Structure 1
Amino acid sequence: MMDTVTRYFQIHRRDLVFMKFILEAYEGLSTLSTEDRDKGIVRLNVPQPFNDDVDALIEALRMEISITEVELPEGSIVEPAPQPCKEGLYHA
């Protein structure tokens, strides 16, 4: 099983859907979950081998949207990242 890195970013609420669609276009690069919609905090679960690729994508996105990496917001409840099962499907 591949190790994942969990990273948090703050973006404008209006850019949530844009960022989600961009990340979905790079299938398998990461998964995005909204941690706090009102504050624009999103969580990315990134397979370790793709962490540098996500860094490059975030830098490119900064030309389009305001995006800042942040620490886990205090008091947040984080759900575990989905884990692949042997059939290739995901489950929590």
Structure 2
Amino acid sequence: MSVPTNCTIHRFLMDPIQIHYLRFVLEAYEGMAILSTIDRKLGLVQLNIAPGCERDLDAILHQERKFLKYRPIDIENRPERPARSGEPAGFM
């Protein structure tokens, strides 16, 4: 089995107030994932997960799911439409 060389990317909608909490949790696991905020008002975030860390990160997210109240989204495969005020282009 070959070792993956690219990051896995996941996007989530979550309570904007909880973004900082998730960031602190991820910082405790140095090098596992990088959290980027795409839209802080909507709570739209992106996780860039280091190769080989997907299972560990899934376990962490599963453990914190009730507190974070996140939901995964896929904005790559959605049809484009004009953005409304306060949301990124293509977001539905």
Same fold (TM over 0.5): yes
Aligned match of 1:55 in 52, 55, 58?
A: 58
Percent identity between the two aligned chains? 29
Paired residues, number: 76
Instruction: Give the C-alpha shift of residue 2 in structure 1.
Output: 2.6
RMSD between aligned residues: 1.8
Residue 72 of structure 1, aligned match among 65, 69, 75? 75
Q: Are 1:7 and 2:4 an aligned pair?
A: no
Cα offsets for 1:28-48 (capped at 9, x unmatched) = 110000011111010000023
Q: Which runs of 5+ in 1 are unaligned?
A: 77-92
- Structure 2 unaligned residues grouped into runs of 5+: 81-88
- In the other structure, the counterpart of 1:39 is 42
Q: Does 1:26 align with 2:29?
A: yes
Q: Segments of 4+ in structure 1 off by > 2 A?
A: 72-76
Q: Distance in 2 between matches of 1:33 and 1:8?
A: 9
TM-score using structure 1 length: 0.74
Rg larger in 1 or in 2?
Answer: 2
